[in-house]
Amino acid sequence: MKFFIDTANLDQIREANEMGVLDGVTTNPSLMAKENIKGDEACRRHYLDICNIVDGDVSAEVIATDFEGMVREGEELAKLHKNIVVKLPCTAAGIRAVKYFAERGVRTNCTLVFSVGQALLAAKAGATYVSPFVGRLDDISEDGVELVAHIVRVYRTYGYKTQVLAASIRHTNHIIKCLDAGADVATCPLSAIKGLLKHPLTDIGLEKFLADHAKVNGL
């Protein structure tokens, strides 16, 4: 399973990248706003900064909601860097734009997916990635991981090549469950990625190794 980090924060992206396990980055307009990135020019510069840190796919989301606007923005974004993936919402216009870009060899991430039906349309249109939002489904007492598993089953049964990118991951256990569900990618906050490392027996074991070494070496 590939690991993407779900943030527009450059320090966090650098930190995750330095761990050596990062395969890409996803952003969205809320994450860009959180970093106070305003205006088209600043957004473009920021996406380039991200591409210069990570050698992997970087999802950059369009703001337009109409087909023509999505195409215009998506083409601008795709021109920025070879690793940019155009992120489009799962609406009628978004699906049409996914198809438009697929026919021209531009990679897309179809986002805000909350049902198998939406995921089916994204795959039929030729999306590179589909992003089911795990945490937001859990928030309304549905089962986000089950949706990931269902989409994976449908794609495998029918041979769709679209990669299932589990998004809205909130914690480490979501990552593990999405791994079991067969997700191709999980895009996670830095805290959830770092959480994978945590085990009290590792900390206790290391402390003991160092104490034993210090004792025998008279340190």
- Name which position in 108, 109, 168, 172 contacts ligand G3P (CB under 6 A): 168
Q: Which is nearer to ligand G3P, 12 or 28 (CB)?
A: 28
Q: Which is nearer to ligand G3P, 28 or 172 (CB)?
A: 28
CA distances from 11 to 43, 51, 135 (A): 16, 13, 24
Q: Does 26 bind ligand G3P (CB under 6 A)?
A: yes
Q: Does 118 bind ligand G3P (CB under 6 A)?
A: no
Measured from the CB of residue 127, what is the shortest distance to ligand G3P in angstroms? 15
Contact segment (CB under 6 A) with ligand G3P among 38-46, 73-81, 149-157, 164-172 equals 164-172
Q: Does 172 bind ligand G3P (CB under 6 A)?
A: no
Strands 108-113 and 57-61: unpaired
Q: Strand, helix or coil at 11?
A: helix
Choose, from 2, 38, 82, 87, the residue flagged as catalytic: 87
- Name which position in 187, 190, 192, 193 contacts ligand G3P (CB under 6 A): 187
Measured from the CB of residue 29, what is the shortest distance to ligand G3P in angstroms? 10
DSSP class per residue in 32-56: HHHTT--SHHHHHHHHHHHHHH-SS
d(CA 143, CA 177): 11
Looking only at residues 2 through 21 of this chain, which bind ligand G3P when binding is defined by CB under 6 A? 6
d(CA 4, CA 60): 13
Cβ-contact 23, 185 below 8 angstroms: yes
Q: Which is nearer to ligand G3P, 169 or 200 (CB)?
A: 169
Looking only at residues 52 through 111 of this chain, which bind ligand G3P when binding is defined by CB under 6 A? none
Q: Which is nearer to ligand G3P, 135 or 182 (CB)?
A: 135
Q: Does 28 bind ligand G3P (CB under 6 A)?
A: yes
87 is annotated as an active-site residue = yes
Q: Which is nearer to ligand G3P, 33 or 206 (CB)?
A: 33
d(CA 91, CA 165): 18
Largest CA distance in the chain: 73
User: Active-site residue numbers?
Assistant: 87
Binding site for ligand G3P (CB under 6 A): 6, 26, 28, 131, 133, 135-136, 167-168, 170, 187
